Structures are given as C-alpha cells and as structure tokens.
Structure 1
Amino acid sequence: MALNALNTATAGLQVTQAAIGIVSQNVANQSTPGYVKRTLTPVSQSGNAGVGTGTVTRVLDAAAQKQLRLETSGAAYTDLVASIHSQIDALYGTPGSEAALDGVVNAFAQSLQSLASDPSSAPNRSTVLSDAGRLANRISDVANGVQELRTGLESRLGADVASASKLLSEIAALNVKIVGSTGSGGGDSLAAELLDQRDQRITELAQSMDVQTNAVGDGSVTVLTSSGVTLVDHGSAATLAFDGRSQLGPSAVYSTDASMRGVGTITATTPSGARIDLVADKAIRSGSIAAALTLRDDTLVQAQRQLDDLAAGLSRAMSDRNVSGTAATGEGGSGFDIDLTGLQAGNTVTLALRTSGVARNVILMPTMGNAPAAIDPNLMDDPTALVVPFDIAGGPSTFAGAIASALGTGFAVSAAPSGGAGAVRILASGLTLTGATASITVPTSATDTRNGAEQLPLFVDSGSGNSVYTGSFEGGSHLTGLAQRLTVNPALMADTSSLIGYAGTTGAGDAKRPSFLYDALTGRSRTFSAASGIGGISAPYSTSVQDFAQSIIDAQGAAAAQAQQLDEGQKIALSTAQSRFGTQSGVNIDEELSRLIQLQSAYAANARVLTAAKDMIDTLMRI
C-alpha cells in the first residue's frame, strides 16, 4: 500500500512539474508573435499508477484564427490603397493654392481675361504664354508623378511575390516536419512549436494575399487562395514568379495578351509544371498584392486618363470648332447635313442613333489610312459607342464616299446640296438619326497661327514634332501620354502677336481671339471621356475645361478621403480580430500565474504524500 502511494505521488509530481514547465513556457512566450497558449492534459493510468503526463495541446480557436487572417488581408489591402490615394491627392497640391493644379488653371484663365481686356499689352501676351507654360508643366509633373507611383507599385509587387513564394515553400517544409514530428522523439512540444511556426507563416502570407487553409488528417494543411487556386498541398508548394518592368509609362498597361502587356504579371508554377496566370484568372482578391494590382492597373491608369483628357481638352478647346448638323430628308430617309470642311485625322464625327427605343452613338473616326482597323472605344469619349474608321486621305471630295463605305447598308451618304467641298448629307432608314456633331481642328500645323479664324494652336504635342493635337490614331493613340508631352507652341513664343492677330486685317487692339480663348477655357462646354471616371463611368461628361480640372481635384480628394475612411474601419476590424484571437489563444499572464499557484499547491500536496509514503516504507524496513 505504501509502495502504491509512493508511485502515485511520484507520478503526480512528474505531471505537476510538466504542467509548471508549460506555464513557464507560456509566460516566457507571452510576447512572441504567433505563439499559441499550451495546456497539459493528464491521463489516468491503469491500476494504481495514478496519472500520466498526457499530451501538450495548443489552445487554438480556429474560427478566430480564420477571421484574423481575413482581416489581416483586408487591412494590408486598405492600408496600401489609402497610402497611394493620399500620394495621388498630394500630387495635385492643396486645392486653391497658387501651386495647385486648379490654382495654375485659374491663373491662366485670369491672364487670358486680362489680355482680352487689353489686347495691345505686350506684357499681357507674355503673361498668357508664361501661365500657359506653367499649366502644361504642372499637368506633366502630376502625370509623371502618377507613373512614378505605378513604377513603385511594380517594384513592390516583385518584392511581395518573392516573399509570398518563399513563405509557401516554408509552409510546405513545415508540413513535412509536422507529419514526421511524432516519430522524431520531440513529442507534443516539438509538434506544437512547428504548428506555431506554420500558422505564423500563413498569417504572414495573408498580408500579401487572401488565403484559406484546409486541415488534412496527417497534420498537414492545404493552402488555397479564396478563389480556389491550390498553393500548398502536403509537402509541395507552388512557385510564384513576377516578370516586372523596371519603368512604367502611360502606354504600359495590363493585357491578357502577352504581346500587348506592358506590365508584370504573376505566374504560379505547380510542382507538376503547370503554369497559372493569377492576374488573368483574378485569383488574388485581397492583401497587398491585390491592392497593388488594382492601383497599378485601374486607379492610376484612370488618373493618367484624367490628365490626358485634361490636356486634350485644353489643347482642342483652343484649336477646334464645333459643328452641328442641320436636319435633312431625302430618298434615303431622314438625317442631317453637316459641313466637315477642314476635317483632320483624329477629329470625331458623332452620329446619335435610336432604334427600338435604344440610343447609341456611332463615332466616325477619320484617318489617313494608317490607323488600326479596330479602335478601342475606351479611348473615345463614349466607351459604349461603335467606332467606325474612314479614310480621308483622298481629300474633302471623297468624304461622302468614304463615310458611305464605312457605314454600310442602312445609310445613304452623299455630298450635301449646300456647303463646302467637305459638306455631306447622312440619311438613315430603319432607324432614327437624332443628331450629328463634329469637332474639327482648325490649325493645320503649329505655324498655322494666322488662319483667319479665332482658333489657335496654343498647345502642341512635343512628342510628335510639336504637332497640333487632333486625337489621331495614326501610329497609335495620340491621347495616351499627352499629359506628359503637352507644351506651349514654340511659334507663339517667337511671335506673341499671334495671340491677337488671327488674320492679316486684325490689329493689336482686336480682342476677338483672346476673348474666344478665354471663353473656350472657362465657359464653353466640352465633352470628356467616361473613361476618366468624372461624372460617372458609363456616359461622357460635359463641362468647361476649367471646371473639368476642378472636378479632377475634387474626385481625387474624395477618393483619398474615402480610402482613408475605409482603412480606418478595416484597422478597427483587424484590432477586434486580434483581440478576439488573443483572448482565446493568446497568453494571459494573470491566468497563468493563477494556474501556477494551483500547480504549486498540487506539487506541495504530492510532495507531502511522497514524504509520508517514504516514512512508512522506512518504518517497515526497520521492523
């Protein structure tokens, strides 16, 4: 009986000592990232052997851990989005300040107004050109800043993808160690340590991309994206690669067509050698990688488009005349007569159609025969329009025939009975033609400054030999990247009197041209692309150039504020998830100390039993 008591007390001491060791380990790792609290579960021994050490168990709340990873991915996403939006907003400057984009636009408008008030003033002419140059430079600076942000994100994607690939490899290696830990002699403590390491790697991975895990019976886990792409399966991991570019420009955009793609994409290579384009498959939906992709391919591309549209609107407001058709009827149906005299490649002719109650625009795009057969409608003001190129290389007398050939059946196109050589009559049958408009660039070159019209090539495209911007697609889209290339016409810098004299008969006191330029900037409504996102994403936006510039600043400021608000909300959600996980699976010092006191009492009790049993045995031995 004494021997049984001795054995039981010894077993109790061993279990208590092991439990005290677990408490000590918990306390020591209270601040260790990824450490999950452990407990010791004793087991009853058969006969009179008392208790055994049992197993070391991690107190893991799987639901809380899953929520933590979800919020971790979300927080990494909103943090990067808020940071980039804040930097975009800063590029435009403090609204209303002299150096801000709106301040520079307003200064240019004021200088034009001053010139219209006193057209004979040489200083006023110089101020107009100086302020125009400041405006072009400011637009270029902002656009260059946008591309620098895109290049920075490209570099970050490379680093994040490399880090994620390394984590996947480490998770797979830990899977192997965990499965084999029971036979390694390390016991439950080693397995718990390995499980902590694996969980920590997965949580780190969640910062880069949204992942979920499935436990496997052998102790390993399968790691997948939330879209279902398997990244880790037992001891095998996919390898992630990013073919980044060192420098991004306005024309460098993402495309599923590798020959057209100007930015990096993420490829997952499975152990079997299969390759998956995670960007094309939209497999990554949260985390810093998803945020960087969205910012690089959508947010900042749209910011560039806004600046390109502003540059194009600024240039064409000064140099274009707007033409509206007049109603006409004939044997081919009803439609419009419109004078397209002076039409240049890139100028648009818009036909408003209605059929079966549905309205749609057809954009006739004049070319000199060198434009692509298909033109991306997203580069037009109306992305829902049908873009129809037609060749004007033969001159105005061929306009009617070229348009008729391009439109095909259902339309009757002929030379208009009245008007210039480029006047055409467009009639439709079977559908309703509700409008016909055109925007025609008047100057034919940068030196065409005294063309007898009020329009002036004040701004030119420095990337195309200081040519007048018309929106042409010859050799590619002239719109893309115009913000970086916009400059003041050097011909005007050499002869400022052209700001006043628009024909041989006009003198230094004629205010007609400066008044036209001022109204073109501040009062005359122009149509801006729906792709800019100003005023909606499904329909063109009409306003003055000055108001469009202000709308860009307002939109970017609102986007930055919204992104910051979302980030703050997500940080609260992450903090809540961290608190919940810490409460369930983290180390609470007060609980551990209370547990230690209980174990000390148990240890002392077992020690007393052991002493009493020993005394009994000693007494028996002396008999």
Structure 2
Amino acid sequence: MGLSSALASAVAGLRANQAALSITSANVANANTPGYVAQSVNQIEVASGGSGSSVLVTGVTRDIDQFIQGQLRTETGGAGYANQISNILGQLQSIYGTPGGTGTLESAYNNFTSAIQALQTNTTGLAAQTTALSAAQTLAQTINTTSQGIQTLRTNVNQDISNSVAQVNTDLKQIAAINTKLQSLSATDPSAATLQDQRDAAINDVSKYVDVKAVNSGVNGVNVFTTTGVQLVGDGQASQFNFSAAGTLSPTSLYNTDPTKSTVGTLTVTLPNGASLDAIANKVISSGQIAADITLRDQTLVQAQTQVDQLAATLSSSLSDQTTQGTAVNPSASLSGFTLDLSNVQPGNSINLTYTNNAGQQQQVQIVRVDDPKALPLANPPGASPQVIGVNFTGGITSVVSQLNAALGQTHLQFANSSGLLQVAANPADNVTVNSASTTTTVTSLTSGSPQLPFFTDSSSPYTGAITGAGSELTGFAQRIQVNPALLANPANVTVYSNSPPTPAGDTTRSDFIFSQLTSSTFSYSPQTGLGSTTAPFKGTIGNYIQQFISQQATAANSATQLQQGQSVVVSTLQQKFNTTSEVNIDSELSNLIALQNSYAANAHVMSVVQSMMQTLMQVQL
C-alpha cells in the first residue's frame, strides 16, 4: 500500500469515526426522549486505489424490531378497546348500583313492595296510602335517574368519538406529510431517522384509536391500513374520518345503516382516492378506542336502556293489564274455538292464542294492535315464541279478520266476524285444536271495579306499549314513567277500586293484587334485554328480573376489568421487548465511544506516520 492510499484510508476512517461519534452523541443525549429509537452507523468496506481498503458511511440504521413493533401496535389497539369498555361499564355499574346495595333500583323496588305489604294490614289509613305512593314515586324517580345516567354515558362516548376522530385525522396528516419529506431524502441521509421516529410516534398514536398495520413502501415510505384492509395513508395522501355528532343523545337516538334514519352521529371515511365509506356499516374499525365507543353507544348502552325500559314497562303493565278469556264456541262436528270481544283493545294491547298444530305441537301467537301502517309488518325472528303478528284495527272487525286469515291461514286457524266479536276456530278434520284465546287490555280507570289500575303512567297517559312507525312506546319509557297524577291526587284509590258499589272498608282486594303482581307473578322479558333468547325468553318475577340484569351488569363490568388488566400486561410485556432493542443502552454507547476513541487514535496515528514518512522522503530527495 502506498502512502497516499494509507492517508486516504486514514482520512476515510476519521470521517467514519466522526459520523459514528455524532450518532453516539445523539443516542446519549436522547436516552430519555420518548419515542427515540437508538441509531447506528452503516459502514461498508471499499477498495482504496490499487490495493488496500477503506470505509464508507452509507447511512444510519434505526435499531428496531419491526415484527414486535407490529405486534405492539395491534395489542395497543386492543388495550384502547379494553380500557374504554372497562371504564364505561364501571360507570354503568355505579349507575345501576351494587347488587344488594342501598340507593339502587333493587332497594327502591324492595321498599315499594314493603310499603304495599304494610298497606295490606291498614287499607284505609292515609299514612299507609301516602307511604306506598311515596315509595312508588321514589322507585319511578330511580328508574328515571338510571335511564338518564345511561343516556349521559352514551352522549359522553359519542363526544369521545368526535375527539378521537380529530386526533386520528391529525396523526394521519402528519404521517402523510413525513412520507412526503422522506421521499426527498436519500436512504443514507441521517436526518431520515429522526423523521421516521416522528412518523412511528404518529402511527403508534393512531393505533390507540384504530386498529392499524404499517407496510413499507418504496424509499423510506410507509402505507398505513386498518386490519380490515382500508387504506389510511398512501402515496403521500391521508384518508379523512368524518364524524357528525348528534349532540345530547336520548333513548330514541339509534344507529341505522340508512343515514336518513340514523339519529346518532355518523362516522364515514374519505379515502385517498376520494371514495367514501360508512365506517360503521362497513366495519372499517374493529379495535381501538373508537371501536369501543361505537360498540358502547350502539349496542352495550342501548341494551342497558332496554333493560330499564323493560323494567318500567313490566312494572306498569303488571298492575294495569287485564286478561279476559275468550268464550268457547259451541263444539260441533266441523268447528270449535273461541270468540273474543275486541272493544277494549287499544294500540299495543294484544290477543293471545294457544293452539296445537297438525303435528301435535303446541304453538303460541300474540296478535298486537298496531294502527300505524308504517310499523307493519312487525319484526318476527325465526323461532320466536310467541309468534308476534301486528294487525291494524282502524278498518274495523272485517279488516281485522281479513288480515288474520292472510297472516295465519297456513296454520289452519280460521278467523271470522261473529256478530261483532272475533271468532278464532279450527276444523277438527285438520287435526288442529285451539286450546285457549284471550285478550290483554289496559285498564285506564282507577275505579273500574277490578283490582287492576294505571298505577304508573307514561307521563300522564296510560302505558299500553303502542307501536308506531316512529318506534315503540317501550323505548325510553324508563325516562317518562311516573306515578299516575290522578292517584297522587286521591291516595285512597290505592285500595278503593269501585265507587258503585263502594269498595267495602278494609277490603284488601287491590292491595293484595298489587303485592302479588309485584312479588310472585311471573312475566316474560324481551331477549333484547340480553337475558334469555327469542326461542326461550327469560321468565321470572319483577324482583328476579331486577336481580338478574343488575347481576349481569356486575359480571360484565368485572370481566371487562379483568380483560383490561390482562391486555395491559400484554402491552407492557411487548413494550419491554421492543425497548430492549430500540431504546438507548448507555453502557453500550459508552463502550462504543471507547472503541471509537481507539479507532480515532489509530487513524490519527496512521496520518501522523504518513506525514513523518513523507517528510523523510522529501529530506532524502533534497
């Protein structure tokens, strides 16, 4: 090797040392900087002149494990989802109250039944009557408050979606902008590493809200997708999430895939190519905080609202509904069945049929009066028991008969107008038997002569469960239920059920009825409450129902907390693994610094020797 080659190698070595020292210095200075990834210099051996070799700095490498980074982002999305679910379910449990605790729905209900029980022994006492009504008011107000609390949570998560979307859009724009900057830099430019750190931080932030995966593209570029394959960043352009908040939500604020029918905030995403997708209908987001908020707003909390609505409806109907059995049709060789008086059937009231089909199976049918054509036909899931049929009564008995024959003709049941009464019958030759038929109607008078009464009302109107094109009266009833104002004005009607003839003094008929309905009568509850199924609805007393859904909520909250804790451990473990390779190790950097100092000294010594030799050669020539 000639002196010039040796000198060139030494100079190249010093330059490489200078670059490495600069990187080591940056690593040490940023050891505690969040998101900073340790860097190292890329060096290659190159030929120097005709013989020997030198070193060339080709760029900077970020010490990062991309596989663990991808896993960490996936689990961060899962943690964002689990954290939000746990947080909101914990708040919901606080609204419902701890099973068996005080100041809860359960305790308010128990206080009401206790007050009614006391009334049985003192039916004429004003104090006992007012105490019962006061307990009823407390129960109604507790139901109101519970419903309002649920809607407040829905409004909060709806606002959280808005805030999260704004943050995600900011991050996506930053990622796209950094991609553009990196495209103008060579792969060997040391400043690229700093930009990549910033881009990774933005992608990590997005992963808290939306499930994402990053794919390298071209020189220093990254494309970002959701795990469902929707592109969020690509070719220097970013998708844009758009959220139209609906303000304060109410029980009737519900999501619908038809934007014209949806009454909650809609979430869409405009892709880099200009196309737009309904992010909810197309399930664009499957994890992260936004996905949790959507699930909570449109499913979990809607179900919670249904639970308290069902409680309010059952509480009201159990005391006001009167079931009247049909009158048997005189058996004949060709026809047998029942006649029913429909004069008191109001919208939401029902006709109840039980029959044995030609396969020997007993079937149940519930015929509901629905006078709004926009609400028909009623949704009737396969296998639902009872089968629910909606019928418009506004056309009179003839129209009712026609609708029923059209809806149930295949069952071999025959409907007819029998002197203004509805007749339901079957031909024994078809091996079909009508076992029972009845009507369930709402008593609207406090002194109808029967123990039933409209104890609780929908604001000041009787609750019948009417169904219209705008929805069911059941939806949001928990916010509107109250003790009948007419009953508050005349507390004696808690026990007095007839004025003509007068209810005998000390008569316990009504108080016995109320207590029995509240404590021992069994009712069926909608599968939409999360209890039971369409084929086997949950059945039990009102007290059983309250205990069941409060217990279910407590279990859900505990499960969510456990999931959140488990997910936190997974994220923490992955973060530690990621940090092992990506964080600055001061000991390693100091070791590198010593090696670089030695290398620097060696290269400097070579330059010194070459200088000395050149001076000697020049002196020889002289």
TM-score by length of 2: 0.90
Residues 1:344 and 2:346 are matched in the alignment: yes
Amino acid at match of 1:521: L
The residue type paired with residue 561 of structure 1 is: N
Counterpart-to-counterpart distance in 2, 1:63 and 1:203: 14
| 1:143-184 Cα shifts (integer Å, max 9, x gaps) | 01111111111111112112222222222222211111129x
- How far does residue 195 in structure 1 lie from its aligned partner after superposition? 1.8
Q: Percent identity?
A: 37
Amino acid at match of 1:95: P
In the TM superposition, what is the alpha-carbon distance from 1:547 to its structure 2 partner?
A: 1.6
Deviations along 1:349-399, one digit per CA (max 9) or x if unpaired, are 344576879987543111346662223448x9x967653222334777986
Match of 1:473?
A: 467
Secondary structure of the residue aligned to 1:45 is strand
Cα distance in structure 2, aligned partners of 1:53 and 1:590: 24
- SS in structure 2 opposite 1:267? strand
Q: Secondary structure at the match of 2:462?
A: coil
Corresponding residue to 1:488 among 483, 486, 499: 483
- Supply the distance in 2 between the matched residues of 1:537 and 1:218 (Cα, whole angstroms): 56
Match of 2:167 in 1: 163
In structure 2, give the amino acid aligned to 1:258: P
How far apart in 2 are the matches of 1:253 and 1:40? 57
Q: Deviations over 1:389-437 (max 9, x none)?
A: 22334777986566335534544434699xx975643437878678656
Q: Secondary structure at the match of 1:470?
A: coil
Contact 1:340 1:438 in 2 (8 A): no
Instruction: Give the AA of the match of 2:441.
Output: T
- Assess if the C-alpha contact under 8 Å between 2:348 and 2:370 holds in 1: yes
Query: Once the 2 structures are TM-superposed, how far is the Cα of residue 220 of structure 1 from its aligned partner?
Result: 1.7
**1:231 counterpart residue number:** 232
Residues paired across the two proteins, number: 610
Contact 1:363/1:386, CA 8 A, preserved across alignment: yes
- Partner residue in 1 for 2:541: 544
Using the alignment, how far apart are the partners of 2:299 and 2:167 within structure 1?
24
C-alpha separation in 2, matches of 1:172 and 1:357: 68
Matched, 1:571 2:564: no
Shift in alpha-carbon separation, 1:478–1:119, aligned structure 2, 3 A? same
The aligned residue for residue 586 of structure 1 is 583
DSSP-derived class of the 1:150 partner: helix
1:604 is aligned to 601
CA shift at 1:117, angstroms?
Answer: 2.2
Say if 1:344 and 1:440, in contact at 8 Å, map to a contact too. no
For 1:14-413, what aligned pairs fall within 5 Å after superposition? 14-47=15-48, 48=52, 50-182=54-186, 187-322=188-323, 342-351=344-353, 362-368=365-371, 372-377=375-380, 386-393=387-394, 403-404=404-405, 406-413=407-414
One of 525, 536, 540 as aligned partner of 1:528: 525
Partners of 1:273 and 1:181 in 2: how far apart?
28
Q: State the partner residue of 1:440.
A: 440
Q: Distance in 2 between matches of 1:356 and 1:3?
A: 106
Q: Following the alignment from structure 1 to structure 2, what is the Cα–Cα distance between the partners of residues 360 and 259? A: 38
Show CA shifts across 1:223-276 (max 9, x none): 211111122221122222111111111111111111210011211223443211
Q: Deviations over 1:564-607 (max 9, x none)?
A: 11111111111111111111222222222222222223223333
Q: Give the Cα–Cα distance (whole angstroms) in 1 for the partners of residues 245 and 372 of structure 2.
A: 35
> 1:340 touches 1:424 (CA, 8 Å); kept in 2?
no
- 1:3 Cα deviation (Å)? 4.0
Contact 1:367–1:393, Cα closer than 8 Å, also in 2 = no
Q: Aligned partners of 1:358, 1:69: CA distance in 2, in Å?
A: 55
Counterpart Cα distance in 2 of 1:167 and 1:355: 65
Q: What one-letter code is carried by the residue in structure 2 that aligns with 1:519?
A: S
Cα distance in 2, alignment partners of residues 589 and 360 from structure 1: 77
In 2 relative to 1, CA 396–60 (structure 1 residues): closer, same or farther, beyond 3 Å?
A: same
Tell me the amino acid that sits aligned with residue 440 of structure 2.
I
Secondary structure of 1:454's counterpart equals coil
* 2:444 is equivalent to residue 427 of structure 1: no
Quickly say closer, same or farther: Cα 1:20–1:82, change in 2 above 3 A. Answer: same
Q: Is the 8 A contact 1:341 1:396 kept in 2?
A: no
Which runs of 5 or more structure 1 residues have no equivalent in the other structure?
none
Task: Check conservation: 1:368, 1:393, Cα contact below 8 A.
Answer: yes
Q: In the superposition, relative to structure 1, how do residues 260 and 377 fare at CA in structure 2: closer, same or farther (>3 Å)?
A: farther
Tell me, in whole angstroms, the C-alpha distance in 2 between the residues paired with 1:588 and 1:167.
29
SS of 2:473's partner is coil
Question: Cα gap change, 1:335/1:148 in structure 2, threshold over 3 Å: closer, same or farther?
Answer: same
- What is the rounded CA distance, in whole Å, between the counterparts of 2:471 and 2:480 in structure 1? 15
Contact kept, 8 Å, 1:7 with 1:49, in 2: the verdict is no
Amino acid at match of 1:199: D
1:215 match: secondary structure: strand
Is the contact made by 1:341 and 1:421 (CA closer than 8 Å) also made in structure 2?
Answer: no
Change (3 A) 1:61 1:426: farther
Using the TM superposition, name which of 187-196 and 76-85 deviates more: 187-196
SS at the partner of 1:507? coil
Q: What CA distance in whole angstroms lies between the structure 1 residues aligned with 2:150 and 2:160?
A: 15
**Cα distance in 2, alignment partners of residues 565 and 431 from structure 1:** 56
2-side partners of 1:202 and 1:485: how far apart? 46
1:173–1:449 distance in 2 versus 1, CA, 3 Å: same
Q: What one-letter code is carried by the residue in structure 1 that aligns with 2:566? A: G
CA offsets per residue over residues 426-470 of structure 1, 9 Å max, x none? Answer: 437878678656562341x3xx101111111100001xxx11111
2-structure distance, mates of 1:583, 1:519: 67
From the superposition, tell whether residues 574 and 435 of structure 1 become closer, same or farther in structure 2 (CA, over 3 Å). farther
Q: Distance in 2 between matches of 1:372 and 1:527?
A: 23
**Greater displacement, 507-516 / 555-564:** 507-516
**Structure 2 gap ranges (5+):** none
CA distance in structure 2 between the partners assigned to 1:608 and 1:333 by the alignment = 119
String of CA shifts for 1:29-88, please: whole Å, max 9, x gaps. 223233222111211121245212232111221111110110110000110000000010
- Bigger drift between 188-197 and 300-309 goes to 188-197
Contact 2:316 2:457 in 1 (8 A): yes
Residues 348/14 of structure 1: CA separation in 2 closer, same or farther (3 Å cut): same
Name the CA distance, whole Å, in 1 between partners of 2:475 and 2:333: 42
Greater CA deviation, 25-34 or 393-402?
A: 393-402
Q: CA deviation at 1:323?
A: 5.5
Separation (CA, whole Å) in 2 of partners of 1:552 and 1:414: 40
For residues 196 and 101 of structure 1, what CA distance do their matches in structure 2 show? Answer: 52
**1:404, 1:411 within 8 Å by CA — same for their partners in 2?**
no
